[in-house]
Amino acid sequence: MARERHGHQVEGGCCALVVVYLLGKVYVANAGDSRAIIVRNGEIIPMSREFTPETERQRLQLLGFLKPELLGGEFTHLEFPRRVQPKELGQRMLYRDQNMTGWAYKKIELEDLRFPLVCGEGKKARVMATIGVTRGLGDHNLKVCTSSLPIKPFLSCFPEVSCIGASLSSPSFWGLGWLLPQIPLSPSSLFTLFSHQVQVYDLTQYEHCPDDVLVLGTDGLWDVTSDCEVAATVDRVLSTYEPNDPSR
């Protein structure tokens, strides 16, 4: 895609949620804010998670810390509870960086007045005040709305993969393989980048019925409908058909 955009008018980008059935196993790969769930006998089993500025805050901050030139002198990789004001220079304020899940105090410096790399909460969270999803395909020409600073270096096309029908317990290193050739990383940095576990769902350990389903949806579904509502809708629709009815 990166090569073809020079010969074709390719703009924009998209998320990707893919399911592959291979040799008795089902693989669910997600890059973006789409999600998949299994509904089994009324139980809801998440098979993927959303990748947003909030869920990937530490990865984004680590990249901004290791490669500050990507911030263009316009952004700070640090996060504050609110936008820092010039009058607060020299004062103490809560903050957190790429290594922190909680908050600590620091003395406000001039660089802290820059716009935060990750800002907002929930569906309003943004990277560089522009995009609300951190993994997907495309967006090679996406730039900060107020400048020509590229955002693509912070976006990953690598999915997180869940395997249904296997016994995997090792960490998944699909998350940021694109970063390894660019930056020498310490073991602690690698742990921050690749802290995702491969999710296991062994088909042989459970009994299944014709009403058990795997549901895939974009944020257009999950933003307005809960997992429970989706499961209830599927159950209600399937109950109107006979088990052997091909149209169900």
Instruction: Read off the pLDDT of residues 161-199 as tens digits, 9 standing for 90 and up.
Output: 887 664 433 333 334 343 433 444 444 444 444 444 455
- Pick the closest to residue 134 from 179, 182, 72, 191 (CA basis): 179
Residue with tokens 């974009």: 218
Q: Give me the pLDDT at residue 162, please.
A: 82
Contact 231, 38 (CB under 8 A): no
How far apart are alpha carbons 43 and 190 in whole angstroms? 34
Lowest mean pLDDT among 55-59, 70-74, 204-208: 204-208
H or E, element range at 217: strand 213-217
Q: How confident is the model at residue 56 (pLDDT cuts 50, 70, 90)?
A: very high
> How high is the mean pLDDT of the chain?
83
Is the pTM of the predicted complex or chain greater than 0.95?
A: no
Structure-model confidence comparison of residues 147 and 177, the more confident one: 147
Structure-model confidence comparison of residues 42 and 54, the more confident one: 54
Structure-model confidence comparison of residues 242 and 87, the more confident one: 87
